[in-house]
């Protein structure tokens, strides 16, 4: 029997229902999805740093930060929960602010069995490029409740100067 592929010319007995695994396009789309996954897997591994514990590897490189620039300063805020100010190092080189530190592992179970460990430990390192005009003598870093705040004032000559020009009727 020859099957008509044009839907409106099909007869009732020619209609064939394909299951997803019998559909040739299903296998093609699954193969393409697997190929894309395999192509990008090295990037996923590099981003997370470890197949065994991706959260631990992500902490070791990328603490969360906010960078806010205003006319007179740049403020960098970093979330560093579980750390104290003695665990954090802030370095300003040329046009780069570097945050370094380490969260040390705490052993809590002495006599019991550990069933799951999700808290992450290890060192971190984060470099933030800065705009021109930072006043190196007016940089302040504060640490409170696991949040590091670095305030970098701009030099007066680096601040944008604006002048309002009146508009006259012609």
Q: Which of 9-13, 116-120, 160-164 has the highest mean pLDDT?
A: 160-164
Distance CA 102, CA 80 (A): 10
Distance CA 142, CA 67 (A): 15
pTM of the model: 0.56
Query: Is 149:141 a contact under the CB 8 Å cutoff?
Result: yes
**pLDDT tens digit sequence for 83-141:** 888 989 999 998 899 999 887 776 666 667 766 666 667 788 888 999 888 999 999 99
The tokens for 39 are 């192509």
Q: Is 97 exposed, middle or buried (0-12, 13-18, 19+ CB in 10 A)?
A: buried
Q: Which helix (H) or strand (E) holds 138?
A: strand 134-144
């Amino acid at each position: 029997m020859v099957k008509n592929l044009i839907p409106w010319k099909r007869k009732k007995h020619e209609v064939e229902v394909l299951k997803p695994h019998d559909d040739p396009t299903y296998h093609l789309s699954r193969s393409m999805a697997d190929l894309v996954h395999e192509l990008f897997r090295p990037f996923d591994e590099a981003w997370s740093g470890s197949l065994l514990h991706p959260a631990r590897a992500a902490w070791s490189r990328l603490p969360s930060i906010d960078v806010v620039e205003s006319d007179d300063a740049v403020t960098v805020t970093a979330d560093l929960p579980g750390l104290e100010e003695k665990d954090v190092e802030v370095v300003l080189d040329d046009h780069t602010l570097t945050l370094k530190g380490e969260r040390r592992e705490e052993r809590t179970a002495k006599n019991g069995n550990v069933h799951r460990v999700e808290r992450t430990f290890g060192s971190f390192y984060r470099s933030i490029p800065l705009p021109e005009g930072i006043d190196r003598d007016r940089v302040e870093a504060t640490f409170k409740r696991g949040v590091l705040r670095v305030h970098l004032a701009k030099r007066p000559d680096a601040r944008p100067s604006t002048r309002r020009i009146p508009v006259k009727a012609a």
